[in-house]
Chain A
């Protein structure tokens, strides 16, 4: 009898469907929960053992999070500064070599394509870190300028070292000079073991922290050196769940959660301008032309965005995931991210609401749905509009 056709169908690929980062061998050993998730084609840890332990490592000790799947683009050439300056909403001519800037970039309609950190490595070389592929967008931005764009994501592995003891961890491994970097500074260093690294004083947790960039073939050496200080400095590897909580506390927006990239949104209503995301501070409308400037000037002239991202302080302890928000019975918005903040001891959320309901101190009614064993529960809570920086310890800049 002939073989049944289906049995020959390669239902599963013979190679792992997700790529592994250079740190994966160490992460796999430590991942007692065996909890993984995909991140841009890579397998990445959701959790190692206990989300509370990992969270408190970020807030009271130090943490390592593998950021190797982040996309990294090199923009270099005599006119690289002009390219980046026209690309993003902030003044890049004022960004000195050895400094980092956070900025969104927009399309011609002023809608945010993405946001990320911009490393000025030298007068003529920049590196932009972001979450979604931007090669064609950056190449279009560089068209007509004397500059080249390259995707260097695979050439650089990265670890986010975050938490109050992260400075000591760096000193412990011989990176004293890196530990002394100013907030949003960047430089090239070598560990006591001779591993060359680039360290930026950046991060996603709102805490004191650094990101360490290393060649993939030296990644494990770096990991081992850092993790030798695990006991002394309460240094823990963390997964995405603990990170998520810290980034909400820090009030950092997340693509595909707080907004959809202007290039990928199916519905224009899901895209946002920088002002709508609370990123006015990162937009300089008085600088020379940048992509989206005319649309953003028009938005300002029309009185600003119709929806705004706000922070919410919610009564009770039920995280307001996806909660509907009402004001005087009229729906005015929705929660995009929410959690209980252990460090602030507050029930916090990020939400997008009508501009009329975005004033600080406005009290909204939140309709929160939650799991009640096998049924869904519903509770009403008061949600007060607050600035979205829920946790900003002074030591992060110290």
Chain B
């Protein structure tokens, strides 16, 4: 490698994880360049409704609050949509009101709700060491390699016997069985089931959907286990803060700079080639893009082992989530101060499961569950819905036709919950998984790049044996949602990926120094 390379590290992809990685690398004194294909930063995070699981470590390490990030003390409310003008409101900040609201449905469930929240938060906290750290290598050849595993075992042990048993019992379960154990009303069972499956290719009765539910309780607001963090201004405010942080540390950021290839020389990353033919050289390349896109498209199979390529190809990641954006010409009737609140249409386990039934076979569900949020933007009121009902592998139809139909059905559904809503809608635009795939270069259009099942978590993410952010290409690291701990807006893959790259780079430098000719 010539000493002329103007950069120490290149980061591919300007989503939140890419920005976190770039900021961290720059903070460590590496001359860092981030390359984003589109004309704006944020990646898939721009489609998210909140950043409730943002890692407090990321906020602290990058000093995001100094960069304009404002964390709100108020946790978002959830309104269950249960029929014409019938809503039940769950407010994490108002226990008594929540209790009263739920008691109207069932006094037993009103009793059970806070206990369930605490239970999930406690168990999720037990998972935290697994989610925050770089997964250890499954190497038993020397004691040093066993330490991280032992430390994890101790962490689990600290939970206590009862919680450990509970965790081991429910983690691989399906969420419907758990919800039926705890709650008796369809409305709460449906909400829990929906929260578990949203974002993943799961039904309420799919195995290990309790694991995906638990991930929603991990991280979150400091000092309030299980409660989502509320970032004022949402994902776009977070992206702005990350950009400020990265630039502040000295990272250079280029948008409209799509990477065509990762350059490999002698089995090691040497830089990237942009689509316009520009070659940029650096000994470290971090990719926050989809692992398949990174390894199979940008690197290519020629540089990789055949069995590794197969494992990457087989990693599951076909999206089922769509985002519907609605422009409204005024607030829907009877609505006061609901900006930031969440409105969930998932009235029962059965309807969540039925939606998945359709998607299993490549169909679009008639009545998919969704979560709606209202926001005021530039003086106009907008609403967005995350819809669990859009299989990427649509059969016998295409999204150009099915998208508008699905959007229309959801607007109709909102009208039944909220008479007068439809008349306010001036524009409806659905972003389906095919568009997500095309726009963000994530084959399959999955929100977490790769499905978040137990079979693709921790030691097994993105593929077994390669959970340490390193890739078979020396100097190439993964730092996106396809790496541990996966999707949602945590910033943790970006953080861990950058740390792994920095550790490897300094170890390599030390080695080169020691073995100097």
Contact = CB atoms under 8 A, between A and B. Distances in A.
Given A289-B267, A293-B267, A294-B472, A143 B313 contact: yes
Which among A108, A141, A145 has the greatest number of chain B C-beta atoms within 10 A? Answer: A108
A86 interface: yes
Contacts of A144: 296, 300-302, 309
B306 A86 contact: yes
Interface of chain B: mostly helix, strand, loop or mixed: helix
Interface in B298-329: 300-310, 313
A87 interface: yes
Contacts of A294: 267, 305, 472
Interface in B279-309: 296, 300-309
Contacts of A87: 306
Nearest to B310: A140
Given A143-B310, A291-B305, 9 more contacts: A86-B301, A108-B307, A108-B472, A144-B301, A289-B267, A289-B304, A291-B306, A293-B267, A294-B267
Contacts of B472: 108, 294
Interface string A66-86: 000000000000000010001
Contacts of B306: 86-87, 107-108, 137, 140-141, 143, 291
Contacts of A137: 306
A292 B300 contact: no
B265 to A, nearest CB: 11
Contact of B302 (A82, A107, A140): A82
Interface string A82-101: 10001100000000000000
A137 B304 CA distance: 14
Contact residues on A (Cβ < 8 Å of other chain), bracket: 10 to 19
Given A293-B267, A294-B267, A294-B472, A145 B308 contact: no
11 contacts: A82-B302, A107-B305, A108-B305, A108-B306, A108-B472, A140-B309, A140-B310, A144-B300, A145-B301, A289-B304, A291-B305
A288 B310 CA distance: 20
Contacts of A293: 267, 305
Interface string A105-123: 0011000000000000000
Interface string A279-313: 00000000011011110000000000000000000
Interface string A143-172: 111000000000000000000000000000
A351 B296 CA distance: 41
Interface in B122-142: none
B440 to A, nearest CB: 22
A86 B308 CA distance: 13
Contacts of B300: 144
Nearest to B264: A289
A241 B33 CA distance: 66
A69 B230 CA distance: 68
B261 to A, nearest CB: 14
Contacts of B267: 289, 293-294
B302 A86 contact: yes
Task: Rank and list the top 10 A-B pairs by shortest CB-CB distance, nearest first.
Answer: A108-B305, A144-B301, A291-B305, A291-B306, A141-B306, A108-B307, A140-B310, A140-B306, A289-B303, A107-B307
B197 to A, nearest CB: 32
Contacts of B296: 144
B443 to A, nearest CB: 13
A141 B313 CA distance: 12
Nearest to A295: B305
Nearest to A263: B307
A291 B302 contact: no
A73 B283 CA distance: 40
A108 B302 CA distance: 13
